[in-house]
Amino acid sequence: MLSNKPLAERMRPGNLDDYVGQDHFIGKDSTLRKNIESGILPSFILWGPPGVGKTTIASILANCMNRAFYQLSAVHSGVKDVRETIEKAKKQQFFDTPNPILFIDEIHRFSKSQQDSLLGAVEQGVITLIGATTENPSFEIISPLLSRCQVYILKPLENDHLKILLLKALKNDSYLKEYKIRISEFEAFYRLSGGDARKLYNSLELTISSEIAGNSDKKRQIIITDKMVIENVQKNIALYDKGGEQHYDIISAFIKSIRGSDPNAALYWLARMVEGGEDVKFIARRLVILAAEDIGLANPNALLIAQSCFQSVNVIGWPESRIILSEAVIYLATSPKSNSAYMAIEAARQEVKDSGDTPVPLHLRNAPTKLMKDLDYGKNYKYAHSYMGNFVSENYMPDELKGKIFYEPGNNQREKELKERLKGLWDGFYDYNK
């Protein structure tokens, strides 16, 4: 019988040297590490998936910088809690005392008024704010607060990091080190964790608990294989998924089902999220992205439907929003698909990276002054509306890229029509005959 305290909590590092991963952010040569060593700690937002150490980092920083540490969860706290915490921080202000750290988990769940209540304290230096979010701060954090904070992106842990964590747990955990445990295969741990340390530790603990349940002989050697891990984790899937840790796995299955034109599977994953209490805005926002990325010009109305869904669920809320989401999901799943818009902008971005800042042709440049006109800015520009059909064959690209195609029409009825139109307009200029 292992401890009631989860392995992930038992293995939480207490200092920066024990912390594994995120070298770009907290490594020895990182800007933040240098700031910390000099006693400077700015307010910042940690953006990343679950289980990558956001809470741990905040706790370590408070400990190593000897600062008071307050922690709030945006799920359970309101404006009153924020103001009470700020008042406590004010009472601790002395001439030589560094300001306390206020860590807010899931800060994206705070309303605008709740975020507003933090502004003054952050601006005046009453607190150093560390926010943790799994959502893009640009969408979820109000601009005045975001402008007062650095944003750091945390990445899923790599396999090398996960292996280090597993071996450290077997060696250092007060319970596990009493057993003779050896991991012979690591692939299942890597695959099931998805770069999430908490999932990793849950998988290890579930596997070992199952193996010693019928035989707790500490002298017996336990050799962990991929098959053993998968069988034990699947057998205990309810425990493994405690707290909605499959958040990213389920949204991935949801998006891929819609992309694959399977409305039944999409509705099943939607129901999983609805029953799990997922943030309705998160689901609706992903539908807007999908409508542009995966349906695009095959059915431009898809983006309008998705945007309407997003606006509607923001007004309606649960539980009625499930009906709005269901309608949108069925529409998007059964719609023809095209990723041509996504591929086009990615191809254009790659060209910019490859060719750099190529000059704008003179005839396309703006000429608001006489000097610019004298330099031939805008000279010989052909105004499309002055020609039949509001079109004239003209080079709008930098000369080095003349005739280069980024948009390749998709293989669907609407874009086939667009391709024919482009071939007719640009015959001899762009080769759309491929």
Decide: 130 and 102 in contact? Cβ < 8 Å: yes
pLDDT at 331: 92
Neighbours of 399 (CB within 10 A): 9
User: pLDDT higher for 310 or 240?
Assistant: 310
Best CA proximity match to 19, nearest among 29, 9, 11: 11
CATH 3.40.50.150 fits 22-153, yes or no: no
pLDDT above 60: residue 244:
no
What value does the mean pLDDT take over residues 146-162? Answer: 85
- For the segment 320-354, what is each residue's pLDDT rounded down to a tens digit? 888 999 999 999 999 889 888 888 888 888 888 87
pLDDT above 70 as % of the chain: 91
pLDDT at 376: 66
pLDDT at 2: 54
What value does the mean pLDDT take over residues 207-216? Answer: 75
pLDDT at 238: 42
CATH code of the region 247-334: 1.20.272.10
pLDDT at 290: 93
Structure tokens at 315: 């007004």
For the whole prediction, is pTM greater than 0.75? no
pLDDT bracket for residue 1 (50, 70, 90):
very low
What is d(CA 427, CA 434) in angstroms, rounded to the nearest whole number? 12
- For the segment 94-122, what is each residue's pLDDT rounded down to a tens digit? 666 778 888 888 888 887 878 888 888 88
Cis peptide before 368 (omega within 30 of 0): no
Q: Residues in the chain, how many?
A: 434
Task: Write the CB contacts of 218 (distance below 8 Å, at least 6 apart in sequence).
Answer: 178, 179, 180
CATH code of the region 159-240: 1.10.8.60
What is d(CA 191, CA 177) in angstroms, rounded to the nearest whole number? 24
Neighbours of 168 (CB within 10 A): 14
In this predicted structure, which of 82-86, 189-193, 428-432 has the lowest mean pLDDT? 428-432
Classify burial at 224, counting beta carbons within 10 Å of its beta carbon; exposed 0-12, middle 13-18, buried 19 or more.
buried
First to last CA, the chain: 66
pLDDT bracket for residue 242 (50, 70, 90):
very low
pLDDT above 70: residue 285:
yes
How far out from the chain centre does Cα 131 lie? Answer: 15
Neighbours of 76 (CB within 10 A): 10
Residue 64's identity, in one-letter code, is C
- For the segment 6-52, what is each residue's pLDDT rounded down to a tens digit? 888 888 887 777 788 877 777 777 777 777 777 778 888 888 877 78
Query: Which sequence spans correspond to the domains of the chain?
Result: 22-153, 159-240, 247-334, 357-425
Best CA proximity match to 341, nearest among 305, 391, 289: 289
44 sits in which H/E element = strand 44-47
pLDDT at 289: 92
